[in-house]
A and B are shown apart, each in its own frame.
Chain A
Amino acid sequence: TAGITQAPTSQILAAGRSMTLRCTQDMRHNAMYWYRQDLGLGLRLIHYSNTAGTTGKGEVPDGYSVSRANTDDFPLTLASAVPSQTSVYFCASSDGTSGSGANVLTFGAGSRLTVL
C-alpha cells in the first residue's frame, strides 16, 4: 500500500539519549514535513523539506534536526532528548512545492515518544 511509513511506532527514551525517528514515503512526493501533536496545541510544524537536499525550520525546531538526502526519506533526530519532547510525532508529505492545487498532506501513522 502506497503511503508513509514511520518507525518506531512507539518508544520510551531516557533523557539525554539521542533518537532518530524514521520516515519513508513511496509516493515520490517532493515535500515532506515533521509535526508534533500535543494535547491542546494541535499539530505544530518542526521541520520541513520542499525537495531533496533542502530543509527548513518550522514553528518549533529547537532540539530537533532533519536531513533529506533523497526524495523518499526524511529522518528526524533528537540529539539529546528532554521530557518536553514527549509527544506524538507525525511525518507527512505532499506532492507539490508550488502554489497550485490543494497539495493535501498525506500522513504517516505517527510515532509516540516518551522521554523520561
Chain B
Amino acid sequence: AQKITQTQPGMFVQEKEAVTLDCTYDTSDQSYGLFWYKQPSSGEMIFLIYQGSYDEQNATEGRYSLNFQKARKSANLVISASQLGDSAMYFCAMRPTQNTGGFKTIFGAGTRLFVKA
C-alpha cells in the first residue's frame, strides 16, 4: 500500500531564511510522481512542484526545490528566502505512473509553516 509521511506538524522559519519540509513515502510501484501542494489560509490548493521517480535531477520551480533521495524514499521540499506569504499548509503527495490501481494521488497529513517577520 502507498503511504506518505510528513513528520512535522508545524514549522517556524524566519523571513528570508531557507526551510526544509520533510516527506517520506512508501510504495511498491516502480514508477511514480511526487508532488507538493500549498494551502493558504484561504483554503485553495495550489500546485508547487513535481518530481518523477526516474528524473535524475532534482526539480526546481523558482524558490521551491525538491530534494529527491530515491533510495531513502524521501522528497523534501526546500523553500529558499522565505516570505511572509509562504505561511500556509504544505502537503506532499504521490501518484503512480503505472496503472496499478487507478492512478490515485494520495497525500500526507501536511506541515503548517509559519514565517516570522
> Which residues on A are within 8 Å of B, measured CB to CB?
31, 33, 35, 40-45, 48, 50, 56, 58-59, 88, 90, 92, 94, 96-100, 102-105, 107, 109-110
B31 cross-chain contacts in A, Cβ below 8 A? 99
Of A41, A45, A100, which contacts B104 at CB under 8 A? A45
The docked-state distance in angstroms from the alpha carbon of A42 to that of B97 is 22
> Which residues on B are within 8 Å of A, measured CB to CB?
4, 6, 9, 31, 33, 35, 37, 43-45, 47, 50, 52, 91, 93, 95-99, 101-110
With both beta carbons as reference points, the residue of chain A lying nearest to B33 in the complex is identified as A102
Q: Say how far B22's CB is from chain A's closest CB, in angstroms.
A: 14
Residue pair B104, A48 in contact (C-beta under 8 Å): yes
Of B47, B99, B103, which contacts A104 at CB under 8 A? B47
B103 cross-chain contacts in A, Cβ below 8 A? 31, 50, 96-99, 103
Check A103/B104 contact, CB under 8 A, given A40-B109, A42-B110, A110-B43. Answer: no
Residue pair A105, B105 in contact (C-beta under 8 Å): yes
A31 cross-chain contacts in B, Cβ below 8 A? 103
With both beta carbons as reference points, the residue of chain B lying nearest to A102 in the complex is identified as B50
Check A99/B43 contact, CB under 8 A, given A31-B103, A43-B107, A45-B106. Answer: no
The docked-state distance in angstroms from the alpha carbon of A56 to that of B101 is 9
Of A42, A103, A110, which contacts B107 at CB under 8 A? A42
Residue pair B104, A42 in contact (C-beta under 8 Å): no
Of A43, A48, A90, A105, which contacts B102 at CB under 8 A? A48
B45 cross-chain contacts in A, Cβ below 8 A? 90, 92, 105, 107
Q: Say how far A87's CB is from chain B's closest CB, in angstroms.
A: 13
The docked-state distance in angstroms from the alpha carbon of A44 to that of B6 is 14
The docked-state distance in angstroms from the alpha carbon of A92 to that of B107 is 13
Residue pair B108, A107 in contact (C-beta under 8 Å): no
